A and B are shown apart, each in its own frame.
Chain A
Amino acid sequence: MKCLRICPTQALRVRHGKATLLGDRCIDCGECVRVCPNHAFVPQTSSLSDFSGFKYTIALPSPVFYSQFGKDVKPSTILGALKAIGFDDAYDVACASESVSIAIQEYLDKNETPRPLISPFCPTIVRLIQIRYPNLLDNLIPIESPMEIAAREAKREKMQQLGLTEHEIGAIYLAPCPSKMIALKNPPRKKHSFLDGVMPISDVYPSLIRALAHSEQTNGKPDIRGLGLGWPIVGGQVASLKAEDSIAIAGLSDVMRVFDEIENGRMKDIQYIECHSCPTACVGGSFNVENPYMARGRVLRLVEKFGQEPCQDRQKIRDLYQKSFFSLVGRIAPSPVQPLDEDLSRGIQKMHRRHQTYEMLPKIDCGACGAPTCMTFAEDVVKGDVEADECVFLAMKSFESISTNLLEVVGKHSKKVRGNIAR
C-alpha cells in the first residue's frame, strides 16, 4: 500500500491484493518501484547478453555513474573498468552534457520567447507536462539530450575507426532511473534514437566493483573534465550556463507548484528552469547504489577537481549548433488524462456526483479502500469501478444502523419473552 501514497499523480489502485496502474496518469517516475516491499513493480531492463547480436558494444554511463564509487576512483578508471566487464568500449557522457550546456546558452541567446524555457532532460518532467500541463509543451527547450548526443558521436567515431555500420554497433546507456529506459522505448517525439538499450546502474555495479579491485587501468584517454560532470545534481545545468535568472527545481511537488505559477502567467522574467523529478536530481535515481547525499558530495568534488577546465571548444560547439547538430525537431503531443466523461455535460454531472460522494466520506485519505485519497475513491465510485460501501467508514455506518435496528427488534422481543416467562 506504500505505492498508493507515494504516487504523485494518483495513478495506482490496490484492489483484491493487487496493484493496478492507470496508464494514462503514470509519469514513469519510478517511486512505486522504489517503495514496494514486495517488488511488485519490475521495470523491464536489459542485460549485457541482450546485446550479443551487435558486433561492437559501447557503454555510455550516465555521469551519475562516476559518483557511485570511492572518492579516489577517477572517471577515466571507471570507463576503463567497463571495458573489463564485457563492453567493447566506454564513452563519456559528461562531455556531451557540456556541449548541450553550450547549445542551451546559444538557444537562450537567439530565441527571446517563450519564457521561461524548461529543461527536457528528465523524461518524467516531460511526461508530467504532456499529461497535466499541455500549455507548457512549447516551453520545453528543443535541444537533444546529452545521452543521445553522446551515443551519436560514439557511433560515428567507431563507424569511421572500425568500418562498421550503425546497426552493427550497440550503444547502451547505463541509467540512474527507470524513466530514461521508458523514454527510450516510448519516446515523446517520434524520432530515430542512436541508443540501442538501457541497463540500470545497479545491474552493472557488482561486476564493476570487482573489475575496479583487480585493475587500476585507465582507458588511455586524458581524464574526463568539464562542467558536464556537475549535471547529475540540482543546479548542475544552471551552473554550466551563463544565463542569469535561471533556476533549478527538484522534486515533483515543487515542480508542479512552479508549473502552476507559470500557467498563471508568472515567472516570465526567468530564462531557464532546470527541472528534476527526484528531489536530489539524478543522483537520487532509483537505479543508483550509493545514497544521493554521498553521491552529491562526490559530484561536487569531481566538479572542483576536473570541472573548471572545459572539455569542448566553445566556438566549435557554436558552429555545430548553427548546423542544427543539437536541434530536436517535431512537436511533443499532449497526452491528457482520460476526462471524467467524453461528453462535457455528462462530465459536469459526474463531477457533481463525485462531490456528493466525497462529502459522505471521512476525508482522511486512509487508503483502506485501495484508492489513494477519498477524492479518487469518490471518482472511482462515480465511474462505476467500485461500490461506495467499499469504504470501511461507510460500511461501518450501515452496519451500525442495521445493528441498531436489530438491537431494537431483539430488545422488544426479549421483553415479550420475559413477560411470557413471568406469566
Chain B
Amino acid sequence: MKRVTHVPYSQLFEIEGKGFLHAGKVSSDIKAMLKELGIDADIVRRVAIACYEAEMNVVMYARVATVVLELTPKTIKIVVDDQGPGIPDVNQAMQEGYSTATPEMRELGFGAGMGLPNIKKNSDEFRIHSTVGKGTRLEIIINVN
C-alpha cells in the first residue's frame, strides 16, 4: 500500500476488474478502519454501502481502479478512479433502474440499476466524471458529524 501525506490519513487501495473472488474486500477494510476509530454506526453503514457499490461497479465493468481513502476528523472522502469503458450518458446512468448489466451480473444479484443512485443517496457530496474509452472517477464525501 502506497501512502500519501497531505491529509491526516490517507490510504490507497487497488481493485482489479473481474476480480469477483476479492470483491468487497476494499469496502470491508475501510469499514473495519472506521469502526476502529469509533465512528458512528450509521455513518459506517453509509460508507460501506457507497463504497461497496462503487467497488462492484469496478469489478463488473472496469479493468482496474485505485481507491483513495482520505480521513479527516470532519469528513470521509473516497475517490474511485477506474480505467474502463466509461459511461456514455452519465445522467441516464444516475437514474434508478437504468442498468447495462449482463445476464451473468444479474444472476449474481446486481444490475437492478441502483448502483450509482445508491452511492449518491448515501453520500453527502457526490461527483462523477466519466470519459468514454478511458474511465470513470467517483468522488464520495460523507460527513462525520
Residues of chain A at the chain B interface (Cβ within 8 Å): 132, 134-135, 260-261, 263-266, 334, 336-337, 339-340, 342, 344-345, 347-349, 351-352, 355
From 1 to 34 in chain B, residues with beta carbon under 8 angstroms from any chain A beta carbon are 1, 3, 8-9, 11, 24, 27-28, 31, 33
* Pairwise interchain contact B52-A264, C-beta atoms closer than 8 A: yes
* Pairwise interchain contact A336-B38, C-beta atoms closer than 8 A: yes
* Pairwise interchain contact B35-A132, C-beta atoms closer than 8 A: yes
With contacts A264-B52, A339-B37 known, what are 4 further pairs, Cβ within 8 A?
A132-B35, A344-B38, A348-B73, A351-B33
- One digit per residue, 1 when the CB lies within 8 angstroms of any chain A CB and 0 when it does not, for chain B 100-132 equals 000000000100000000100000000000000
Q: Which 9 A-B pairs have the closest CB atoms?
A: A339-B38, A264-B52, A345-B73, A134-B41, A265-B49, A344-B73, A347-B37, A348-B9, A135-B45
* Pairwise interchain contact A349-B3, C-beta atoms closer than 8 A: no
Least Cβ distance of A380 to chain B in Å? Answer: 13
Task: Check B89 for interface membership: any CB of A closer than 8 A.
Answer: no
* Pairwise interchain contact A336-B35, C-beta atoms closer than 8 A: yes
Nearest A residue to B56 by beta-carbon distance? A264
Nearest A residue to B38 by beta-carbon distance? A339
Task: Check B71 for interface membership: any CB of A closer than 8 A.
Answer: yes
Task: Check B78 for interface membership: any CB of A closer than 8 A.
Answer: no
What are 5 residue pairs bridging A and B, where the CB atoms are less than 8 Å apart in the complex?
A: A135-B44, A263-B48, A264-B48, A265-B118, A344-B39
Using A344-B144, A348-B8, A355-B11 as known contacts, say yes or no to A334 and B41 having CB atoms under 8 A apart: yes
Taking CB atoms, residues of chain A closer than 8 Å to B24 are: 260-261, 264
- Interface of A, secondary structure class, is helix
Residues of chain B at the chain A interface (Cβ within 8 Å): 1, 3, 8-9, 11, 24, 27-28, 31, 33, 35-39, 41-42, 44-45, 48-49, 52-53, 71-73, 109, 118, 144
Q: CA–CA, A355 to B118, complex, Å?
A: 31
Least Cβ distance of A353 to chain B in Å? Answer: 10
Q: CA–CA, A337 to B39, complex, Å?
A: 11
* Pairwise interchain contact B45-A344, C-beta atoms closer than 8 A: no
Nearest B residue to A358 by beta-carbon distance? B1
Taking CB atoms, residues of chain B closer than 8 Å to A349 are: 8-9
Q: CA–CA, A266 to B8, complex, Å?
A: 32
Nearest A residue to B55 by beta-carbon distance? A264
Nearest B residue to A349 by beta-carbon distance? B8
> Contacting A263 at CB < 8 Å: which of B3, B45, B118?
B45
Residue among A264, A342, A348, A349 with the highest chain B CB neighbour number at 10 A: A264
Least Cβ distance of B64 to chain A in Å? Answer: 21
Taking CB atoms, residues of chain B closer than 8 Å to A336 are: 35, 38, 41
> Contacting B36 at CB < 8 Å: which of A334, A337, A345?
A337
